[in-house]
């Protein structure tokens, strides 16, 4: 079972059972973004978690195997056309150089890891319209001097 078939199986079972990523993530014991990324074939999920996810969805061990495979990550579109995803591209285009300045000022030369990294999506209530809060938390990696 390849990642594509795995994703289809997960999506179909999730829809059939009327489950949410939130609920599934609770059963698995991990963050909903991580669980979704694994289900969409963008992260590998260790077997102990994969078994809980497959269990919650009533799926076979093949799905557990497929979830554990290290995926070929990323997509085919260089610039995303979906508006929701594009906004993150726009943020990088508009604020990328500013984040670079501020991170270098706070930490010196180096980067925020996108590997030793977590990402949360939260809803913040607001009378003028609720807000999406995306929190990225990555280890600072200083450039090695050699």
Q: Is 125 in the site for a copy of itself (CB under 8 A)?
A: no
Distance CA 70, CA 143 (A): 27
Residues in 19-78 at the binding interface with a copy of itself, rule: CB under 8 A: 20-22, 30-34, 36-37, 40, 42-46, 49, 70, 72-78
Q: Which of 16, 26, 60, 114 binds a copy of itself (CB under 8 A)?
A: 114
Q: Which of residues 2-21 bind a copy of itself (CB under 8 A)?
A: 20-21
Is 47 a residue of the active site?
Answer: no
Full 3-state SS string of 12-49: HHHHHHCCCHHHHHHHHCCCHHHHHHHHCCCCCCCHHH
Q: Residue 67 CB, nearest distance to a copy of itself (Å)? A: 11
60 catalytically annotated:
no
Binding of a copy of itself at residue 141 (CB under 8 A)? yes
**Residue 24 · residue 41 · CB < 8 Å:** no
Of 55 and 88, the one with the shorter C-beta distance to a copy of itself is: 88
Residue 10: which of 43, 46, 55, 48 has the closest Cα? 55
Contact in structure between 136 and 88 (CB atoms under 8 Å): no
Is residue 93 a contact residue for a copy of itself (CB under 8 A)?
yes
Shorter beta-carbon distance to a copy of itself: residue 58 or 123: 123
Q: How many other CB atoms are found less than 10 A from the CB of residue 48?
A: 11
Instruction: Please check whether residue 43 is in contact with residue 67, taking contact to mean a CB–CB distance below 8 angstroms.
Output: no
44 belongs to the catalytic site: no
Q: Find the binder of a copy of itself among 4, 16, 60, 90 (CB under 8 A).
A: 90
Q: Give catalytic residues, as residue numbers.
A: 87, 90, 113
């Amino acid at each position: 079972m390849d990642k594509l078939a795995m994703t289809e199986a997960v999506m179909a079972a999730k829809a059939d059972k009327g489950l949410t990523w939130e609920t599934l993530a609770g059963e698995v014991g991990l963050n909903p973004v991580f669980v979704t990324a694994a289900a969409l074939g963008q992260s590998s999920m260790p077997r102990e978690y994969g078994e809980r996810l497959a269990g919650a969805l009533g799926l076979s061990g093949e799905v557990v195997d497929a979830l554990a495979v290290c995926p070929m990550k990323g997509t085919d579109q260089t610039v995303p056309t979906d508006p929701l995803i594009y906004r993150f591209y726009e943020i990088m285009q508009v604020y990328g150089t500013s984040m670079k300045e501020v991170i270098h000022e706070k930490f010196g030369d180096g980067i925020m890891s996108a590997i030793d990294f977590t990402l949360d999506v939260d809803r913040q209530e607001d009378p003028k319209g609720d807000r999406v809060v995306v929190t990225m938390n990555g280890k600072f990696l200083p450039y090695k001097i050699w």
